[in-house]
Structure 1
Amino acid sequence: MYLRSYVFHLRARNLSPRTIKATEEYLRPFLKTHDPLAATKRDIEVWLGDLSERCKPSTVWTSWRHLRGFFKWLHAEGDIKIDPLVSVAKPIVPPSEIPVLTKVQIRSLLATCNSKDADSRRDKAILTVMLDIGLRLSETASLTIEDLGEDGTLRIFGKGRKFRTVVLGNTSGTALSRWLRFRSVSNDSLWAKSRGGLTPTGLRKMIQRRGVQAGFHLTPHQLRHTFVDQWLRNSGSEVDLARLAGWSSTAMAGRYAQHRAAERALTAHKTIAPLDRL
């Protein structure tokens, strides 16, 4: 009952169907065993503690975040007098190191797509675009022909239903143009072949398969992290990075920047060691 009403509230806020579905999935397990109007701080802490024994810290944190939004809404609606989440500490998520690709690995990955068949042309275009622009999995899969500008730009429909415009580099632009010259279907999807477009699941499997062919484990998110790492290694600013990556502030850019930060700092020092410049 309350979950259904909360969903209507989220729809009224014009949140994406994907966000609303995720919210339902994270809230439903708690609401199956707890009356939200009677739930206490201890109830929530015990439930989160049990969850932490069988799930990753990031899952516990996400569950806490969705519960916080739900109980905040209940309090604003007047259904509860005290919001129990106010005094529940935010779960700690230990920093995890997501491996980024080296230049050798990037070359090996793209080399798996050197054939001139349709799959190779398409896959190489996808991989270069994701590495060059740092697109999310869902953003890449949803690209259409209309999103491609004549000036080499791409219009991205990103998280939070926000649009942003990015520009292709020479390498990704060349790979994409080779795919477009081969592509002959009328489907709107940028990655459509004879059997239709490419789903996020299909895209994920393709990336994993190409990684295996290149000799290493690969996930879509590694491509995004590799983009961030290469951007910072080449002295790109965090402000520009946030805009290109679709973040509303530089806070997320800072979080991503923590990965391989020490290694980048050592490399930078070799280049600009102060005494070597005297």
Structure 2
Amino acid sequence: MKLSELDFYLQDFLLYCQSKNLSPKTLSSYEQSLKLFIAYLKNEHGIEEVDAVRTGHIRQYIAYLQERGKYTVVNREASRLINRPENRRDYNKKISNVTINNYIRNIKVFFNWLHEEGEIHKNPVDKIKQIKTERKQKAGISQEEFNLLLSQFDYTTFHGYRNKVITMLLQDTGMRIGECLALTVDDIDFKHRMILVKKTKGRKERYVYFSQVMARELKHYIRFKDRYTDTELLFPTTRNTPLTVHSFEKQLKQAGERIGLSIHPHQIRNNFARQYLLNGGDLYTLSRILV
């Protein structure tokens, strides 16, 4: 089937992004949000050419996003039969302003690229602003809550003890969960109490540091792990495969629910930052740790 002009330029834009070595997560975000926007332009306005898009079309799309519910619109109707979005718990719930701002940002990046490439002469996103959002104070996790959370993992099982150590390491170092689950045993330098983080968001290696208490726990865990697995991965499954972010998030959430605590790995990272500053750390050093 012949591509429309908008579809052609979207594919060209994604190839450009790949050449810039952007992360798969960023590429997926661009592709998903821009395909939905292009579907809206075609269905609601009959637009298939890039230079036919006006500022008003984008403003109307923002209003459209604010009015419709989650997952009520799909890029291809065939995908609705496969994914069954109506079965999701959050189906038809209001889309958050944060999500809408992500869509706006991606649309702006796309049209700014088209303008820089000389494919459009007037840029329709020049006067498009993000919508205001209320910044909610992120609740911290008290030491009592954190200790209670750790107690929910069954230390006598491999996966229970593994999950406890992961949770401790996130709090101790401020690593992202994806970075943590990609570690190997060789990445740990016990002499200097530091870990080489290779799989980073910015694809630039960095070191994080851990406490003496964490060092003792890690040494004990590695001996424990080697009785159950045969892999250099620090946090594998019992099948010697990498533990996925989704799987750990689910198990952490279940542990939190048992004590009435809503918990996500990123909250532990935020808690590390809060504790670091409360204990006298400076913002510059913190920014280097969390980069």
TM-score, L = length of structure 1: 0.83
2:127 to 48, 64, 87: 87
Equivalent of residue 166 in structure 1, options 200, 205, 208? 208
**Quick check: 1:55 aligned with 2:95?**
yes
CA deviation profile, 1:47-71 (whole Å, cap 9, x unmatched): 0122123310110111111111111
After TM superposition, the structure 1 stretch with the greater mean CA deviation from structure 2, 140-149 or 177-186, is 140-149
- Corresponding position of 1:21: 28
Q: Is the 8 A contact 1:141 1:203 kept in 2?
A: no
Aligned to 1:75: 115
The unaligned stretches of length 5 or more in structure 1 are 247-278
Is structure 2 residue 220 aligned with structure 1 residue 178? Answer: yes
Structure 2 contact 66–95 (Cα < 8 Å) conserved: yes
Q: Tell me the secondary structure at the aligned position of residue 165 of structure 1.
A: strand
Contact 1:128 1:175 in 2 (8 A): no
Give the Å deviation of 1:114: 6.2
CA distance in 2 between partners of 1:84 and 1:182 (Å): 59
Amino acid at match of 1:136: R
The aligned length equals: 246
Q: Distance in 1 between matches of 2:130 and 2:108?
A: 10
Paired with 2:221 and 2:273, the residues of 1 have a C-alpha distance of: 25
Shift of residue 230, structure 1, vs aligned partner: 0.8
Counterparts of 1:122-271 in structure 2, within 5 Å, are: 122-151=162-191, 152-156=193-197, 157-184=199-226, 185-195=229-239, 196-246=241-291
CA distance in 2, matches of 1:221, 1:192: 20
Superposition CA RMSD, Å: 1.7
Give the TM-score taking structure 2 as reference length. 0.79
Contact 1:15–1:161 (CA<8 Å) still a contact in 2? no
2:33 and 2:12 mapped to 1: Cα distance? Answer: 16
Q: CA shift at 1:90, angstroms?
A: 2.1
CA deviation after TM superposition for structure 1 residue 123, in Å: 1.2
* Greater Cα offset, 30-39 or 94-103: 30-39
Structure 2 Cα separation of the partners of residues 209 and 64 of structure 1 = 34
Please identify, of 114-123 and 99-108, the stretch whose mean Cα deviation from structure 2 is larger: 114-123
> 1:105-135 CA deviation, whole Å, 9 max, x = no partner?
0111122236333123211210011111122
The amino acid that maps onto 2:112 is K
Change (3 A) 1:51 1:188: farther
The reply on whether 1:7 has 2:7 as its aligned counterpart is no
**Structure 1 residue 110 corresponds to structure 2 residue 150:** yes
CA distance in 2, matches of 1:170, 1:29: 50
Q: Which whole-Å deviations, capped at 9, do the CAs of 1:86-118 have from their partners, x for residues lacking one?
A: 111122221022222011101111222363331
- Please, which moves more after superposition, 169-178 or 65-74? 169-178
In structure 2, C-alpha distance between the alignment counterparts of 1:146 and 1:91, rounded to whole Å: 46
Q: What's the offset of the Cα at 1:165?
A: 0.6
Deviation, structure 1 residue 145: 2.7
| 3-state DSSP of counterpart to 2:126 | helix
Which secondary structure state, in structure 1, belongs to the residue aligned with residue 262 of structure 2? coil
The CA deviation at 1:213 is: 3.0
Show the counterpart of 1:44: 58
Q: Helix, strand or coil for the counterpart of 2:189?
A: coil
The runs of 4+ residues in structure 1 deviating greater than 6 Å are none
SS state at 1:160 partner = coil
In 2, the alpha carbon distance for the partners of 1:229 and 1:96 equals 15
Q: Secondary structure at the match of 1:198?
A: coil
Taking only the aligned residue pairs, the percentage that are identical comes to: 26
What does the per-residue CA deviation read over 1:213-252, in whole Å, with 9 as the maximum and x for residues that have no partner?
Answer: 3332211221111111111111211111111111xxxxxx
